[in-house]
A and B are shown apart, each in its own frame.
Chain A
Amino acid sequence: MAAAMNVLRWWWGLVLAFALVALVRVFLPLPFANEIIIFSIYTMGCNYLLGRVGFISFGQPAYLAVGAYAAAFYLFYFGNNPYVGILIGVLAGIVVSFAIGPLFVRLRGDYFALVNLALAVIIFYLMQKVLADITHGDNGLWFLTSLTSTPVLDLTKPDHFFIFAFLVAFALWAFYKYLDDSIFGACCLATKLNEDKVKFLGYSSFNIRLFAFVIANTTTALAGAMYAVYLGFVSPEITSPARAADPVVVTILGGVGTLYGPIVGSIVYTGMKDVLSKVLGNWELVIGFVLVFIMLAGEKGIWGTLEPLIKKTFLRVTGNAADQGGSSR
């Protein structure tokens, strides 16, 4: 009975959160809802790196492009099944992050950020110019019409795609929540706070960081593959340096290291982008100032500020494990 209660307590927060997310689908137009879900998956990796491991990555678009192009190559040249395309995108993400991870995670935090951005630029030019014969350069690869319909959940239909993306996001959230509760999650947080002590306890900080790097970037690659299938085309624009900071901005906006930060950030960011670019035609101005304001006001972000308030009012629980990463530096 007690075990059942614990399981229930573990799941109910997730279920409640996703019941609220499902409302997005009811109140907002479908393309907007899809964009939000994919974007929040995209941000999750960055959120984990920044909030749990202490790595700031300005190069997430690189891994997004790895997933997107892997899926696109398969769907354009070899097959038509969108599920296989997404699977190949994920595999590409794992392979690429394992290949470059050992080189990158050795670096100090500041160099890590800069090198990741450089990787995004390399992939941008690789896709735009060097591999132009395969990637069709700036025109991109178009395969929307050649995707085959699949039984049960038909990914070629936007409303079915939403259900799929929703399920994927839910699974990922459960996975990241599990990760937070596991020893591995504790080790990640510990390397962020004090690397020497982790080494002293006998853990390899290199291995911890490497696996966190692979997990986070595979998540990002998954988001890339989903973008590819959803939009039906991929162009180098996906990894353009001008968009390199999007996931970082959304992470900060939502609240660094919080579980639901990415989705809150994605809703606000996509909404602001959509509404403000119509009204002002100049949303960078607002995003920039909001970002600076959040950083100066204590870098907690929207969800990081709301979470304790919600807990206080509805749960009367204090000192939950979920808010340990948000405020610590």
Chain B
Amino acid sequence: MMDTQLLISGVIFGLSLGGIFFLMTIGLSLCFGLMRIISLDQLLYYSIGGYITYSVSLAVGNIWLGVLGGVVVGGLAALAVERIVFRRIYDRDLPFTMITSFGVLIGGVGVIKYFWGLVPRPVPVPIDAQVFIIGTEIPVYRLVIIGIAGLVYVGIWLFLNRTIIGKAIRAGTEDVEHVEGLGINVYRLFTITFVIAGGLSGLAGGLHAPLIMVDPNMGLEVLAFVFMVVIIGGLGSIKGTLVSSFLVGQVVSIGSLVYAPLAQMAPFAIMLLILLVRPTGLFGSQMLKR
């Protein structure tokens, strides 16, 4: 029914899209797991990452340097926002943090519009080469994105399981008060997690920028997909985020091959189905404190 070449390129496209979604949602998921906040402003760091990549690559000529700049600036912006805004509202309930972070997102989009204007800007693709996989032409850049997403997953896993800070973060996900009782400064943990989340969102923006054009509303455009990924995977679960982001990536990509309008609709239908069966997503925990 579908020829193999189209299918293979579709799968690769879906995997790279899933990689971007994963990098973007892992921050949201970590923040929810540890701090019990829904940090919509991760989408702002995603846009910032994209724009810094654009500006640096225009000035220096090296796109990878731009992506690195995007990670750094995304992390710094996250640090500033955490210090100014989130530090005051950690003990509030979820809808409250959600609205506040949405305010940060909207305000940040305004700042981006102020600096870079409204016009969408193109970012050149860093690797033009193509490889042949079973007779199908695949852009190397997409494979690189998949590789980076995999590396980040391994890195996060090692960080959470092998380092003392990571272990403290994992313990905090279970029960913050006990961690505090052990004499660990949880607010420092919160800051570290938030900065990591912001940096990864910036990385997602920087990597995604060459595939799409950067424009001020790029964060709002992926908002729905990001929500979907975290709902399907379950808020607060790293593994769930990985599985659901690649699932959503594949559904979008293969769905668009079958019937174009389906690409945007199908993931939402799947999400509603999953919520019917499991109201907390695939890997979300039923019991959440606070």
- Chain A contacts to B: CB under 8 angstroms: 50, 54, 56, 58, 103, 106-111, 113-115, 117-119, 121-122, 125-126, 129-130, 132, 241-242, 244-245, 248-249, 252, 282-292, 295-296, 299, 329
Contacts and interface: CB of A to CB of B under 8 A. Distances in A.
A83 to B, nearest CB: 34
Nearest to B275: A115
A24 B235 CA distance: 45
A114 B111 contact: no
B110 interface: yes
A256 B142 CA distance: 46
Chain B contact residues: over half helix, strand or loop, or mixed? helix
A292 B231 contact: no
B94 interface: yes
Given A296-B88, A296-B89, A121 B261 contact: no
Contacts of A118: 224, 227-228, 231, 268, 271-272
Chain A contact residues: over half helix, strand or loop, or mixed? helix
A116 to B, nearest CB: 10
Contacts, number: 137
Given A245-B106, A285-B114, 7 more contacts: A107-B275, A115-B272, A118-B231, A129-B265, A282-B110, A287-B103, A295-B89
A241 B204 CA distance: 21
A114 B103 contact: no
Nearest to B107: A288
7 contacts: A113-B38, A118-B228, A129-B261, A288-B107, A295-B96, A296-B89, A299-B96
A296 B85 contact: yes
B275 to A, nearest CB: 6
B95 A292 contact: no
A286 B110 contact: yes
B254 to A, nearest CB: 17
Contacts of B268: 118-119, 121-122
B276 interface: yes
B109 interface: yes
B95 A56 contact: yes
Contacts of B104: 288, 292
B234 to A, nearest CB: 10
B113 A285 contact: yes
A252 B99 contact: yes
B224 to A, nearest CB: 4
B279 interface: yes
A292 B265 contact: no
A56 B98 contact: yes
Nearest to B271: A118
Contacts of A58: 98, 102
A291 B276 contact: no
Contacts of B261: 125, 129-130, 132
Contacts of A282: 110, 113-114
A288 B235 contact: no
Interface string B183-216: 0000000000000000000000000000000000
Give the bracket for the number of chain B residues in contact with chain A.
35 or more
A292 B220 contact: no
Given A106-B279, A284-B109, A329-B93, A295 B103 contact: yes
Contact of A245 (B102, B231, B235, B272): B102
B87 to A, nearest CB: 10
A111 B38 CA distance: 11
A201 to B, nearest CB: 23
Contacts of B89: 295-296
A109 B94 contact: yes
Contacts of A130: 261, 265
A288 B105 contact: yes
B51 to A, nearest CB: 15
B35 to A, nearest CB: 13
Contacts of B88: 296
A284 B112 CA distance: 10
Contact of A241 (B93, B107, B220): B220
B9 interface: no
Nearest to A299: B96
B23 interface: no
Interface string B242-270: 00000000000000000011001100110
Contacts of B94: 109-110
Interface in B112-132: 113-114
Nearest to A242: B220
Interface string B77-92: 0000000010011001
Contacts of B96: 295, 299, 329
Nearest to B260: A129
Nearest to A131: B261
A150 to B, nearest CB: 38
A129 B102 CA distance: 28
Given A129-B261, A296-B85, A241 B113 contact: no
Pairs of residues from A and B, 4 with the lowest C-beta to C-beta distance, nearest first: A288-B107, A285-B110, A291-B103, A288-B106
Contact of B107 (A107, A129, A285): A285
A242 B95 contact: no
A284 B110 contact: yes
A287 B106 contact: yes
B220 A125 contact: no
